[in-house]
Structure 1
Amino acid sequence: MTQTPLVHADRVRTWLCDHALPLWSTAGIDPSGAGAWEALEHDGTPQRSRDKRLRVMPRQAFVFASAHMAGQGDYLALARDLFGFAMTRGFDPDTGHLAARLSPAGDILNAPHDLYDLAFMLLAAAALTEAGIDTSDALSRLKQSLNQLKAPRGWYEDAAHSLPRRQNPHMHLFEAATELFRVTGDPDWRAVADECLGLFAEVFLQPDGRVLEFYTRDWTPVTEGQAVEPGHMAEWVWLLDRYELATGQGAGAEAGIDADAMFGAAIAARDGAGLLPDSLLPASDSRRTWPQTELLKACLARRRQGKPELLHPDAVLAPMFAEYLETQVPGGWYDKRGLDGRLLSTDMPSSTFYHLHGACTAYLAAAED
């Protein structure tokens, strides 16, 4: 099938390599050695007095290790340092649990041993391993930490076995395990990915293409407080494609997964600007940056698979740039707007770079094919 060309590669490369990576590798990093700042102001200055989330450290480590592997700059030492900080300062010395929130100086404020945060530690380890860094000791500890959360099916959300059960941490554990299997070939990580895939096929994905977020202890969807986020529907399209690349096996019809229906439901959720709202259930009047990046990646995954272009990637990229990336500080972003286009965010969360770097790098790779 003839593919319509991708026309914004130069724009994407300039934003990412000339502006975003230099900005977030300097202004985005605490010079004291206490990891990455939680956010920058819209003028690019750090929010030095704000608490830090542990998850930002491995997310940024993943970004900078991935940038190194993509030939986007010399960021591997920074990636190693951020991951090292999380490994050495991120575990509570009394409980051994992974921290979630840190003080501005990097001291642990709470350590719930959250599955979501642990998934990103594993994802960072995968990227560093691929870049040639020895993470064997760290992976051994992280594997033990993950085993502490093992449930009869899936994994508990934290050490307290909090409810509701959540789709989102299992999605990111699927992502991390898929990448670890791709990089290391360790069958244990393939087994983790396959268990998450089974939950997705049999529990999370609904016949109409929606993905439900919250569940009871036995994986029954909750009736009160349920949510549907179209960004996650798009994200699963991308992650299923990554699984296929890593394993050489499809994750589609044989597992009962209709990714086409999920993608169709996601693109049907777009607003008049062609962008995704934060939530369909409950209906939201806002849209953050990250769902747009996942929609772009979903379009790129379908393009790689040779499927019909129901939505061209440039139809997502162009409004994403216009609404979120044309900022007063080159390489920054506006993180949240109303459906009417009003700017709602007041700063630039560091955690968003994980989404933007992944989308831009995927776009550049597709443009070169």
Structure 2
Amino acid sequence: MSAALQTELETEIRHTSDRFISWLTHDALPVWLHEGVDQRHGGFYEAIDPADVKGCSVAKRARVQPRQIYSFIEAGNLGWTGPWQKTVEAGLDWYLAHYRHPDGTFASAVQPDGTVSDETFDLYNQAFAFFAYSQAAAALPDRAESLMADARSLLTHLRSEYGHSERGFREANPDCAPLCSNPHMHLFEASQALELIDTTGPWIALTDEIANLAMDRFIDPINGGEREFFDLDWSPMPDDRGRVMEPGHQFEWCWLLARWGILRGNAKAIQMARRLYQIGESYGIDRDRQVAIMALNDDFSVRDPLARLWGQTEWIKAAVILAEHSSGPERTAYLQDILRASNALFLYLDAAPKGLWRDKLNANGEFVEEPAPASSLYHIVCAISELHRFTKEQTLGPS
């Protein structure tokens, strides 16, 4: 019965993956190409208004530009035949020209015309700069050497001006609390990509540093959950902020730590990733709405029942990687979770106009009426890509 059930689940996962690919290539990408790219000024819009399906002329956050660059690159990798390379090169050039400071760091936001509106240093935005460098270097080999030189230079500057005396990076100079795990998570993601491209660079060391910082500091040694906010010595913040644990980040760290643990042969990382998943699935999924919620306390009680789209995508990715490296009843459970998480994501896609999405689902089961944020496309594309890869690389049931 177990083998038959697995075959049935695998077949359904194939069909689910095909449905996601069809939605991405036929519905989402044409909309985000024609309405999500600022044809007048350059770069990518912050959001698309579902009322008229037009880009919103508001300040463009730095994190959005690298995310859109990645999304169009990965769309090309998934077989989309639209002008992804032209879109990526134009977006990359605009991003580097308008956000990058003379010291190599990146501003937080610019106005639609490219005028800097927020010069603030944010470690999170530097993490996505590394992500942009990694993705563009892989997709545009003629520019790889220059991009890797810029990435190395940025890391040198961060080490000098923002490096933490123990490990990782501070949020500001001079120092201030809280320190945050979230930007380190995206640095971890970027450095994993960079070490595959710039093989003689500092990226393997950075990847390992962040992995060990996560296992030693970010993840609670007693309950196994990943925290968000820390004091200057990497202990949890002594106030209420130190209690925050986000289910979506339990899943996202699970995916990243499991990838790293598999690559490095680190059994501890894989074990910790499984516990992170267990916490996210056991306590972070609302049983009525069947979606990943925003936040828990460190006793796993619900802190914020809002359910955002991105948490569903991270649930998919975590379930996929654990299903890949499991067998028997455990694999069956992860396969079932892939479908549960996929159904959760479809809720957000199906509730919006063609090619767009809703971002926030309230506790009462109603979606917030607001523009579709461009930042979500990165999460959606990555989940679709991971699921697609899984269906192609694994021996699954009949198509």
| Distance in 2 between residues matched to 1:328 and 1:100, nearest whole Å | 29
- What is aligned with 1:335? 359
For each residue in 1:21-62, what CA deviation from the matched residue of structure 2 results, as whole angstroms up to 9, or x when unmatched? 1111221111124311111112321111x1110111111111
- What is aligned with 2:377? 353
For residues 1-369 of structure 1, what are the structure 2 equivalents within 5 Å? 3=6, 4-5=9-10, 6=13, 7-43=15-51, 44-48=53-57, 50-73=58-81, 74-93=83-102, 97-133=105-141, 134-150=143-159, 151=163, 152=165, 153-206=167-220, 207-224=222-239, 225-226=241-242, 227-244=244-261, 248-253=263-268, 258-268=272-282, 269-272=284-287, 273-281=289-297, 283-307=303-327, 308-309=330-331, 310-311=333-334, 312=336, 313-321=338-346, 323-369=347-393
Question: What amino acid sits opposite 1:66 in the alignment?
Answer: E
For each residue in 1:233-254, what CA deviation from the matched residue of structure 2 results, as whole angstroms up to 9, or x when unmatched? 1001111233356xx323431x
Cα distance change, pair 117–160 in 1 and its aligned pair in 2 (3 A): farther
Greater Cα shift, 124-133 or 226-235: 124-133
Greater Cα shift, 278-287 or 154-163: 154-163
Cα distance change, pair 99–317 in 1 and its aligned pair in 2 (3 A): same
- How many residues align structurally? 363
In structure 1, the residue corresponding to 2:291 is in which secondary structure? coil
| Distance in 2 between residues matched to 1:131 and 1:104, nearest whole Å | 26
How far 1:13 sits from its partner (Å)? 1.3
For the Cα contact (< 8 Å) 1:87–1:138, is it kept in 2? Answer: no
In structure 2, the residue corresponding to 1:265 is in which secondary structure? helix
In structure 1, the residue corresponding to 2:320 is in which secondary structure? helix
For the Cα contact (< 8 Å) 1:9–1:367, is it kept in 2? Answer: yes
How far 1:210 sits from its partner (Å)? 1.0
Q: Identity across aligned pairs (percent)?
A: 27
| Distance in 2 between residues matched to 1:303 and 1:80, nearest whole Å | 36
How far 1:298 sits from its partner (Å)? 0.4
| Distance in 2 between residues matched to 1:199 and 1:290, nearest whole Å | 24
Cα distance change, pair 204–216 in 1 and its aligned pair in 2 (3 A): same
TM-score, L = length of structure 2: 0.85
Gaps of at least 5 residues in structure 2 are: 394-399
How far 1:187 sits from its partner (Å)? 4.5
For each residue in 1:216-266, what CA deviation from the matched residue of structure 2 results, as whole angstroms up to 9, or x when unmatched? 111111021221101001001111233356xx323431x595222111001
Question: What amino acid sits opposite 2:205 in the alignment?
Answer: A
For each residue in 1:141-194, what CA deviation from the matched residue of structure 2 results, as whole angstroms up to 9, or x when unmatched? 232223222222211224554421000000100100001112332341000101
Question: What amino acid sits opposite 1:27 in the alignment?
Answer: E
Question: What amino acid sits opposite 2:364 in the alignment?
Answer: D
| Distance in 2 between residues matched to 1:81 and 1:167, nearest whole Å | 32
Greater Cα shift, 163-172 or 60-69: 60-69
| Distance in 2 between residues matched to 1:235 and 1:186, nearest whole Å | 27
For the Cα contact (< 8 Å) 1:201–1:257, is it kept in 2? Answer: no
For the Cα contact (< 8 Å) 1:59–1:354, is it kept in 2? Answer: yes
Question: What amino acid sits opposite 2:229 in the alignment?
Answer: F
Gaps of at least 5 residues in structure 1 are: none
Greater Cα shift, 11-20 or 234-243: 234-243
| Distance in 1 between residues matched to 2:40 and 2:147, nearest whole Å | 23
Question: What amino acid sits opposite 1:167 in the alignment?
Answer: S
Cα distance change, pair 68–169 in 1 and its aligned pair in 2 (3 A): same
For the Cα contact (< 8 Å) 1:270–1:276, is it kept in 2? Answer: yes
Greater Cα shift, 311-320 or 16-25: 311-320
In structure 2, the residue corresponding to 1:283 is in which secondary structure? strand
How far 1:285 sits from its partner (Å)? 2.5
Structure (1 or 2) with the greater helix fraction: 2
| Distance in 2 between residues matched to 1:356 and 1:265, nearest whole Å | 22
Greater Cα shift, 353-362 or 148-157: 148-157
For the Cα contact (< 8 Å) 1:112–1:160, is it kept in 2? Answer: no
| Distance in 1 between residues matched to 2:173 and 2:115, nearest whole Å | 20
For the Cα contact (< 8 Å) 1:126–1:176, is it kept in 2? Answer: yes
| Distance in 2 between residues matched to 1:123 and 1:244, nearest whole Å | 20
RMSD (Å) for aligned C-alpha atoms: 2.0
